[in-house]
Amino acid sequence: MEPQDSLLTILGAVFAVLAVASLIGALLKRRISPRAPHGTLDNLNARLMAWWVMIALLALAFWAGKPGVVGLFAFVSFQCLREYISLTHTRRGDHRALCWCFFFFLPLQYYLVAVDWYGVFSILIPVYAFLLLPISASLGRDTTHFLERAAKVQWGLMICVYCVSHVPALMTLAIPGYDGRNVLLILFLVLVVQSSDVFQYLWGKLLGRHKLAPAISPSKTVEGLVGGVLSSTALGAGLWWITPFNPWQAALIALLTSVLGFFGGFVLSAIKRDRGIKDWGSLIEGHGGMLDRVDSLSFSAPVFFHVVRYWWTP
Amino acid sequence: MGRYKGLPEPVGATEERIGVLLVNLGTPEAPTYGAVRRYLAQRVFRAVLIERTPRPHQPNPVDCLAEALAAGESLILFPEGTRNLDDGLLPFKSGIFHLAKRQPQAEFVPVWIENLGRVMPKGALLPAPLLCTLSFGPPLRLAPEETKTQFLARANAALLALAPAD
């Protein structure tokens, strides 16, 4: 199949699933609670509505090609970093370091993806931002909680920019026999990771009995985790034909990315708990903020990228 | 009235903010604050122009504010009167009390703006694109027998009650 055909097939299937889900959501709402608000159902329908928009944006970016994908994820990073820094305690002395993050390191990281300069892309934030940001903060002459503040800014940049930028970086991998299809790798990763979140939510709502870690995330259950990870692993295996992997490789990689994605959400939940908040923001109705939606992607993208780069590129 | 770290905060106009921004604007001694600032102040923010330190023949700042209120306008005041460089709240300037005295029917709505001081601290050239959160409290009115100290303390407490827990 031509790459465009595969893309259209998969996106068509996703939209079909969304249409069915939206229909069920609307029917349930009409059956159970036509007028009065209903917490779970209204949230479900809001989430579904947001999925339409998110998948449409992703499809639009794919259609625009590499610049579209790089632009979309640069925006995702920007929004995540805003949410993260807004809810993290930094002080006036960090202002210059924050401006460097938003106006220098973020655009430069995505520029490096766009021009395919892997050598600098892979060390810009872990090495150069790591050294330059504390220098900038120290010039703010405020030593209160200095180490803590420097660590928070670096951590935000890693999670929101460095890790997320590995999604569009999949476009730069030269895989023999897979020319012009790299966008399908992104589709594979996004579908596996995001479907894992959705499957965890569904299995948790249907069968969830045993809370996994109420201190960190009250909604996560053992049943949800196992069901979600297994379902998305099966989905990943079923999508092997759009990837350079064979079915069992696709299953293993889907398993790995789902588990990492789960822990991405888990770790960021721990931070939210510590800060006393439920969501990172309110950008996406029903889901919370951008960072609530891509926390799992952030943890799985770099590992997925390196697995493919190590074993599938010469 | 409101407060945020960095810039002073809303209801009413801060003496400082309005003063700095506006007095310089209109005066021929400060031609550097050219057309853009004048446009922003007069057309965008619709600021009330007051003198920071009025000479005897010049209008009293509180009169200017009371006049605007009497005309049915709402005002945004920054009762700390300056940019707050630290956490917490500075003692309020007495302007809001005198204004309340002149217009006892006026309601003062406390507004806490979280994060604004981090967006643009004093001396910064670029704003950091952070998200700001506005918290509104119930409106205050000057009680008949209330003294200046009491009213300012009550207003200060009403604003602090909107501050996030940490």
Contact list in A for residue B88 (CB cut-off 8 A) is none
Inform me whether the C-beta atom of residue B130 falls under 8 Å from chain A C-beta atoms.
Answer: yes
Contact list in A for residue B165 (CB cut-off 8 A) is 276
Question: Measuring CA to CA, which residue among B4, B164, B153 is closest to residue B78?
Answer: B4
Per-residue pLDDT tens for B56-90? Answer: 887 888 888 888 888 888 888 888 877 776 767 88
Residue B42: inside a domain, yes or no? no
pLDDT at A221 > cutoff 60: yes
Average pLDDT over residues A181-194: 95
* pLDDT attached to residue B33: 58
Average pLDDT over residues A291-305: 96
Contact list in B for residue A78 (CB cut-off 8 A) is 129
Cβ of B166 and A276 within 8 Å? Answer: yes
Label the pairing between strands B133-136 and B111-114: antiparallel
Alpha carbon distances (Å) from B70 to A174, A303, B74? 71, 64, 9
- Chain B nearest-CA distance from A111, in A, is 20
Contact list in A for residue B121 (CB cut-off 8 A) is 92, 95
Q: Find the residue in B nearest to A85 (Cα).
A: B130
Average pLDDT over residues A115-128: 96
- Chain B nearest-CA distance from A109, in A, is 18
Best mutation site among B85, B131, B133 for testing chain A: the one with the most A CBs within 10 Å?
B131
Inform me whether the C-beta atom of residue B134 falls under 8 Å from chain A C-beta atoms.
Answer: no
Chain A stretch 61-80, residues whose beta carbon is closer than 8 A to a beta carbon of chain B:
78
Residue B146: inside a domain, yes or no? yes
Residue B98: inside a domain, yes or no? yes
d(CA B141, CA B150): 12
Per-residue pLDDT tens for B14-68? Answer: 333 333 233 333 343 444 557 787 788 778 888 887 777 777 887 888 888 888 8
B25-39, B112-126, B142-156: which is most confident: B142-156
Inform me whether the C-beta atom of residue B126 falls under 8 Å from chain A C-beta atoms.
Answer: yes
Contact list in B for residue A82 (CB cut-off 8 A) is 129-131
Q: Smallest Cβ distance to B130: which of A85, A89, A276?
A: A85
* pLDDT attached to residue A10: 92
Q: Find the residue in B nearest to A282 (Cα).
A: B131
Q: Find the residue in B nearest to A97 (Cα).
A: B128
Contact list in B for residue A274 (CB cut-off 8 A) is none
Q: Find the residue in A nearest to B116 (Cα).
A: A86
Long-range CB contact pairs, A209-215, < 8 A, 24+:
A213/A266, A215/A273
Contact list in B for residue A85 (CB cut-off 8 A) is 128, 130
**What number of other Cβ atoms are within 10 A of residue A247's Cβ?**
14
With b for 16 or more beta-carbon neighbours within 10 A and e for fewer, the A186-210 pattern comes to: bbbbbbbbbbbbbbbbbbbeeebee
d(CA A169, CA A167): 5
Q: Kindly give the residue spans of alpha helices, DSSP state H, lying in A90-210.
A: 95-100, 106-114, 118-121, 130-138, 146-157, 166-169, 182-207
d(CA A219, CA A217): 6
Q: Find the residue in A nearest to B129 (Cα).
A: A82
Q: What is the ipTM of this complex?
A: 0.79
Question: Measuring CA to CA, which residue among B27, B95, B26 is closest to residue B61?
Answer: B95
Residue B149: inside a domain, yes or no? yes
pLDDT at B114 > cutoff 50: yes
Contact residues for A63 (Cβ-Cβ < 8 A; gap 6+): none
d(CA A87, CA A253): 33
Percent of chain A with pLDDT over 70: 100
Inform me whether the C-beta atom of residue A85 falls under 8 Å from chain B C-beta atoms.
Answer: yes
Residue B6: inside a domain, yes or no? no
Confidence of residue B166 (pLDDT cuts 50, 70, 90): low
Chain B stretch 82-111, residues whose beta carbon is closer than 8 A to a beta carbon of chain A:
85
- Note whether B18 and B47 are within 8 A (CB): yes
Label the pairing between strands B2-3 and B111-114: parallel
* pLDDT attached to residue B22: 32
Inform me whether the C-beta atom of residue A104 falls under 8 Å from chain B C-beta atoms.
Answer: no
Residue B41: inside a domain, yes or no? no
- What is chain A's mean pLDDT, rounded? 93
Inform me whether the C-beta atom of residue A281 falls under 8 Å from chain B C-beta atoms.
Answer: yes
Residue B166: inside a domain, yes or no? no
d(CA A205, CA A170): 34
- Note whether B65 and B13 are within 8 A (CB): yes
Inform me whether the C-beta atom of residue A210 falls under 8 Å from chain B C-beta atoms.
Answer: no
The answer to whether the pTM exceeds 0.90 is no
Query: What is the total count of domains within chain B?
Result: 1
Best mutation site among B4, B86, B118, B119 for testing chain A: the one with the most A CBs within 10 Å?
B118
Domain of B87, in residue numbers? 75-160
